[in-house]
Structure formats: C-alpha cells, structure tokens
Amino acid sequence: MANHQESDEVDPKLWVWGEDEQTPRLLHTMLRVTDFAESLRFYCDTLGMKVLDRFDVESRRATGMFVGYGNYRQSALLELTQKWDVDRYEHGEAFGHVAIGVADLEDVVRRIEDAGYEIADQPKVLMAGGPKVAFAKDPDGFFVELIQIQRD
C-alpha cells in the first residue's frame, strides 16, 4: 500500500462541482463580506437563497459560505467570504453587479425595502421591449441587479 500524505488524498466532499462535466460553465462569484449574519439576512432571508456550505480556509485566514438557489451542479452560486483579520474592504471600480432573475420584481423590491436595504434604482424598463430591472445594494454595498423574468 502506498504511503500518501494527507494533501495527496482526494476528499470527495470537495469535488462537488461535477467532476464528470465535459464543458466549462460558470460556478460561482465570490464577494468579500464584513458580516455573515447581515449578508445571510439579505441573500437568504430577503432574496430566498439557501446556504449550501460553510467552510474555513486556514491557509487564507478566511471563512466562506456558498449560497444560491440551486446546488453546486445545477446553477451558479455566490461565495461569501470573510477574512479573519479584515474589518472592511475597499470596492474596486471594475466590478459591476450580480444579477438575479425574479418572477415578481415589484414584490422583491418591496421585500428588500421592508427589510431595510437600499434600492439604488427603482424598477424600470431600460430598453424598449425588454424586462423591468431594479438595482439593490447588499449590506457591503455590492450592487444586485434584479431582472423581471416573467412577462406581465
């Protein structure tokens, strides 16, 4: 029997993305957050995502969580990461937003406002014949574009 170091062993729990996939696909977008409880209140309690996993990466001195509407193999997720030694982050100007399709835009906007979060741009049609969109800000100031996916 070969003698393997721990780092050479395969942990099946870490191969959740679909090791049998043959084509590339979007897996997740990572956002650095300052308060997990507040981020979970926004993404899960208000927008209806669920937490798939919480994990510590000691080598990076960080804790992460994967949240989303599906699972690792069904849809793209958000990875919320909090560095252990950082109290705040500076936003770069290159990042734009995360987009979420919603069936009832007006209802989601109302829920976000009722939960005390900012709607930076109220629902409106940006291009003739297109869906309504709105922009909210998450607890760390990241823009979340909400797109009406069902026609009125």
Which helix (H) or strand (E) segment holds residue 52: the answer is strand 50-57
Catalytic residue among 38, 106, 113, 145: 145
118 part of the active site: no
Radius of gyration, CA atoms only, the chain:
18
Task: Retrieve residue 101's tokens.
Answer: 């399709």
Distances in whole angstroms, Cα of residue 122 to Cα of each of 25, 53, 59, 110, 139: 31, 32, 42, 10, 18
Among all residues, which ones are annotated catalytic?
A: 145
